[in-house]
Chain A
Amino acid sequence: MGERKIRVLIAKPGLDGHDRGAKVVARALRDAGMEVIYTGLRQTPEQIVTAALQEDVDVIGLSILSGAHMTLVPRVMQLLREKGLHDVVVFVGGIIPQEDIPKLKALGVAEVFLPGTLLEQIVSTVRQSVKRPLETAE
């Protein structure tokens, strides 16, 4: 038996080019031993879900600082359901008003990380969230 690495897709949906957070989080998850794929900027929800499917990820982290989260996140969640990716855990990070957090969680988002969140908290939350078994038969 070997331990499979957690696979994470870090994605920047929409037009926002602020990628500091996405890149710092990607690197922290990588340093914590996870496999991290970063999509690059300006990905549509369709591109993100296709990448999640192709890369067989456990987790998607969506980074949005532009205020477009209530348009982009519901679409990603809907596409995940349509593709049958029920086990993929979704996190959102960025500038998100408090009142939108319960709405995003109601859509199935596992957690919302605001500016100032510590990396250790993101790493441990991601690690605990993974639904698929990490033990693999060799």
Chain B
Amino acid sequence: MTTREATSHLEEALARWEEQTLKPTLARLPERAAEFTTTSLRPIQRLYTPLDIQHLDFERDIGFPGEYPFTRGIHPTMYRGKLWTMRQFAGFGTAFDTNKRFKYLLEQGQTGLSVAFDLPTLMGLDSDHPLAEGEVGKCGVAVSSLEDMEVLFDGIPLEEVTTSMTINAPAAVIFAMYLVVAEKQGADWKKISGTIQNDILKEYIAQKEWIYPPRPSMRLIVDTIAFCTREVPRWHPISISGYHIREAGATALQELAFTLRDGIEYVEWCVQAGLQVDEFAPRLSFFFNCHNDFFEEIAKFRAARKVWARVMRERFGARDPRSWMCRFHTQTAGCSLTAQQPYNNVVRTTIQALAAVLGGTQSLHTNALDEALALPTEFTAMLALRTQQIIAHESGVVNTVDPLAGSYFVEKLTSEMEQGCYEYFEKIDAMGGMIAAIERGFPQKEIQEAAYRYQQAVDRREKIIVGVNEYVVEKEPVEVPILYIDESVAEIQKERLRRLRARRDNAKVQRALEALKEAARGTENTMPYILECVRAYATLGEICDALKEVFGEYQEPPF
């Protein structure tokens, strides 16, 4: 039988099934809704068959793991060879508090560290800045100087752990602090490994923790990538992030498309700065969200690998297969957690984590059940980690590579995600690239619209959220203990900063800051100058302010 004959045979068979079997059933028992949609409100068919994936070619579109286009995973053996890195994001209070939590998590079998910084640190402000009041140590650890960083990693050998740091606008400074701590421990920069998020584009799009305008921010990012390529070759100098884009309300497709388009923007800037694509592309990494809709998320991850591989090979001419690989971290969706009946969040997180694993993630953070209320306690953080360990060791899903490949539904969704991505790329390319799109508010408005549509669907009960708009209880049956950060953290930080400023060589600090400004005005790589400021114990705020003098500050236009 030819392909065309097989197709027409199948079409006839489907039509027969619809007529003889489906129709009488629908007449007797209509479906529960006129339309079924994903969490992203994408319509889903009743049934998927080979007809839905006949445009796909096995070798070209699905293929083998560890080979282009990597739809099935970046490693040939995936989790049979090595499990994903279980990396729980943690940070609160002072560096002393977080150092203790890190040691606890390592003792519990966690395999990598992930640092959450507080808002003042994320904004490049010292703990004693007036705008920091009430925020010090609240949603992460307060780090204002090298001294705090030394405490944060005290007793943790940096050559042996890998560390991910969620830091963006002041990423170069925080990274320099980490490098100097490594230097003081006697660790070799060539051997240390980890990630700085360092993704400013998604800050303008979604999370909104920026300092400088887009262009100087991009220059700092190119500087860190170029510096890592030469000096810290095992480091991932950027984690191009969709997580926050999704949390801000984007659909799965928007998350994927905007994140990969951000990736394109970074590669373009690096290439324009004179780097060879295969020099730095193998160290690029991504960070995705994993929401509730199981198959949609798995399709998103598979499409991410496929699209990125094609972009790198065809758009940028990368030749090293490692440049084609989309390696990514995943975090379960914070925005899916509910303050109502918080123990239900364990179940949501388990489903999301399972999707991330079936999507082939390289590392994973599972949210704790209390995160719609506050930061996790030691107990809830452990339960979140145990969730991953149970998936890894008890569920059996790790035994084969990409087990959902070949599912008519999953392959069709993967293909739709891929197509949708290219459509968004075309729109953004036509606007002149991602920075131009951000300046006109395009991704921001798309996300706001999606967030509002979703909330309306929840309000109309088209989307049921257990414990929120259905199965509601009057009185919460259980109380969740809360990790409370009080203002003593701010007091400790202020005192530490006061002493530091009195003790250090202030003339040396001034010289280092002046040299940095001079470098920032020119075109030299700023990293060596930032490192000198850090070694002199200039504070985060002082270094960021020096760069503000040269670069200015970003003001968001009203959309």
Contact = CB atoms under 8 A, between A and B. Distances in A.
Interface residues of B, number: 47
A116 interface: yes
Nearest to A44: B131
B339 A116 contact: yes
A116 B247 CA distance: 14
Contacts of A40: 556, 558
A41 B135 contact: no
Contacts of A24: 249, 448, 451-452, 455
A118 B134 contact: no
Top-4 shortest CB links A-B: A71-B134, A17-B208, A67-B138, A68-B134
Contacts of A15: 119-120, 122-123, 125, 131-132, 135, 209
Interface stretch (B77-85, B312-320, B479-487, B494-502): B479-487
Nearest to B483: A97
Interface in B176-233: 203, 207-209
A66 B135 contact: yes
A118 B459 contact: yes
A70 B134 contact: yes
Contacts of A116: 338-340, 372, 465, 467-468
Contact of B451 (A23, A41, A72, A115): A23
Given A24-B451, A68-B135, 20 more contacts: A15-B132, A16-B135, A18-B208, A20-B247, A20-B249, A20-B335, A23-B448, A24-B249, A28-B452, A68-B134, A70-B134, A71-B134, A97-B484, A98-B373, A98-B480, A99-B482, A115-B335, A115-B372, A116-B372, A119-B459
Chief secondary structure at chain A's binding surface:
loop
Interface residues of A, number: 32
A96 to B, nearest CB: 8
A64 to B, nearest CB: 9
A61 interface: no
Contacts, number: 105
Nearest to B558: A40
A98 B138 contact: no
20 contacts: A15-B119, A15-B120, A15-B135, A16-B119, A17-B207, A24-B451, A24-B455, A40-B558, A41-B556, A67-B135, A67-B138, A67-B374, A67-B375, A68-B138, A70-B134, A96-B373, A97-B374, A114-B373, A118-B469, A119-B455
Given A17-B207, A18-B207, A24-B451, A114 B374 contact: no
A55 interface: no
B248 interface: yes
A87 interface: no
A135 to B, nearest CB: 29
Interface string B431-472: 000000000000000001001100110110000010111000
Contact of A20 (B133, B248, B459, B558): B248
B337 interface: yes
B248 A14 contact: no
Contacts of A56: none
Contacts of B139: 66-67
A119 B456 contact: yes
